[in-house]
């Protein structure tokens, strides 16, 4: 039996099973048929945050940012480049809502970024 990983669709937030031995660049959502790995940061909202962070088996970086935060704006191009270069194996997500409160809830470091490994 082929091992599979869960990947959350960046378009419709459906949870998909992706065979671990197939190229991620070809994976498409079973519900909306869009590509699961786009090479672009996924923009999260407070409605989609939990599902994307908790149901994804893929390595994940979450950038907690706010438009008024200078360091956040300075780091944005680096996250975009990481998403582009590592798009098949790494999910880069960007979360703007409730910037400060979510940081506290998630106990992320002061830079406001979470790096989590893949499937446990």
Sites of contact with Zn ion (CB under 5 A): 9, 11-12, 14, 29, 31-32
Which of 9, 12, 29, 72 is flagged as catalytic? 72
In angstroms, give the least distance from the CB of 8 to Zn ion: 9
Nearest in space to 76 (alpha carbons), one of 97, 60, 61: 61
- Nearer Cβ to Zn ion, position 52 or 103? 52
3-state secondary structure of 116: strand
**Could you tell me whether strands 15-19 and 60-64 are parallel, antiparallel, or unpaired per DSSP bridges?**
unpaired
In angstroms, give the least distance from the CB of 13 to Zn ion: 7
In this structure, are residues 57 and 119 in contact, taking their beta carbons and an 8 Å threshold?
yes
In angstroms, give the least distance from the CB of 33 to Zn ion: 7
- Nearer Cβ to Zn ion, position 42 or 62? 42
69 flagged as catalytic: yes
The sign of the torsion formed by the CA atoms of 64, 68, 69, 72 equals positive
Using H for helix, E for strand and C for coil, what is the string for 58-70?
Answer: CCEEEEECCCCCH
- Nearer Cβ to Zn ion, position 9 or 61? 9
29 flagged as catalytic: no
Task: Give the residue numbers marked as catalytic.
Answer: 69, 72
């Amino acid at each position: 039996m082929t091992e599979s990983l869960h990947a959350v669709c960046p378009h419709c937030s459906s949870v998909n099973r992706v065979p671990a031995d197939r190229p991620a660049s070809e994976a498409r959502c079973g519900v909306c048929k869009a590509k699961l790995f786009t090479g672009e940061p996924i923009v999260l909202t407070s409605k989609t945050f939990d599902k994307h962070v908790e149901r994804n088996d893929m390595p994940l970086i979450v950038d907690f940012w706010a438009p008024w935060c200078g360091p956040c704006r300075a780091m944005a191009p680096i996250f975009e480049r990481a998403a582009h270069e590592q798009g098949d194996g790494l999910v880069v997500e960007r979360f703007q809502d409730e910037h400060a409160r979510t940081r506290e809830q998630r106990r992320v470091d002061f830079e406001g970024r979470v790096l989590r490994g893949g499937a446990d």
